[in-house]
Amino acid sequence: MSKKIRVATTSLAGCFGCHMSFLDIDERIVELLEHVEFNRSPITDIKQCGPCDIGLIEGGLCNADNVHVLREFRENCNIIIAVGACAINGGVPAMRNNFTVKECLEEAYLNGIGVENPMIPNDVELPLLLSKVHPIHEVVHVDYYLPGCPPPADAFMKVLTDLLEGKEPSLPKEILHYD
């Protein structure tokens, strides 16, 4: 039996919607698992990314931990795929770029409706927010992009199938959308 392709996945400033859309491949995941094994991913219990063939990254970069995880993936994955609108251009979370981090934190933790014990969380355990949300290609090299919010399940299948077959991934127009 040929060696399985190793795939790692992560959600940075994502909503997990891209992962859900990936799982929308439904029973096709059974056949996919014949060819693929999952390394670090929200659907496995592996804490650190090991050497992998493909890393699927959902979400943009909104805090220091996102940057750390993204670099870990880039160091370990031969191919990095930016999955979904957030990883590609920051997405809807990047609408906070119209405000300062201070304004956002004050609105959420001090002045928001229903806030009790107003205080901006400051424990060192918590990753600091970046001043702006960024797409992942502004921090690491990205090999391929899979647009959509989220990309359709068929788009995940198409790109993974192409890569498994050793082809350049391509998306037919029917499954190319940004929304």
Partner 1 sequence: MSNSTNNSITIDGREIPFEEGQTIMDAARAADIYIPHLCHRPGLKPHGSCKLCTVDVNGRAASSCTLPAANGQEIANNTPELKEVRKNITQMLFVEGNHFCPSCEKTGDCTLQAVAYHLDMLDGHFPQFYPKRKVDASHKSIFLDRDRCILCELCVRASREVDGKDVFAITGRGMDAHLIVNSESGKLGDSDISTDDLAAQICPVGAIMIKEHGYEVPIGRRTFDLHSIAEPGLEPVILRKGKHADE
Determine if 179 is a binding residue for partner 1 (CB under 8 A). Answer: yes
Determine if 176 is a binding residue for partner 1 (CB under 8 A). Answer: yes
Interface region with partner 1, contact rule CB under 8 A, candidates 3-11, 46-54, 65-73, 133-141: 133-141
Query: What whole-number distance in Å separates Cα of residue 31 and Cα of residue 27?
Result: 8
In the DSSP assignment, the letter for residue 158 is H
Query: What whole-number distance in Å separates Cα of residue 116 and Cα of residue 101?
Result: 20
Beta bridge partners of 5: 36
Grouping H, G, I as helix, E, B as strand and the rest as coil, residue 171 is coil
User: Minimum distance between the CB of residue 112 and partner 1, rounded to whole angstroms?
Assistant: 21
Q: Which is nearer to partner 1, 6 or 151 (CB)?
A: 151
User: Minimum distance between the CB of residue 136 and partner 1, rounded to whole angstroms?
Assistant: 10
Determine if 94 is a binding residue for partner 1 (CB under 8 A). Answer: yes
Give the list of residues 6+ apart from residue 175 with CB closer than 8 angstroms, or none. 151, 152, 154, 155, 158
Binding site for partner 1 (CB under 8 A): 82, 85, 88-92, 94-95, 97-98, 132, 134-135, 137-138, 142, 144-147, 149, 171, 173, 176-179
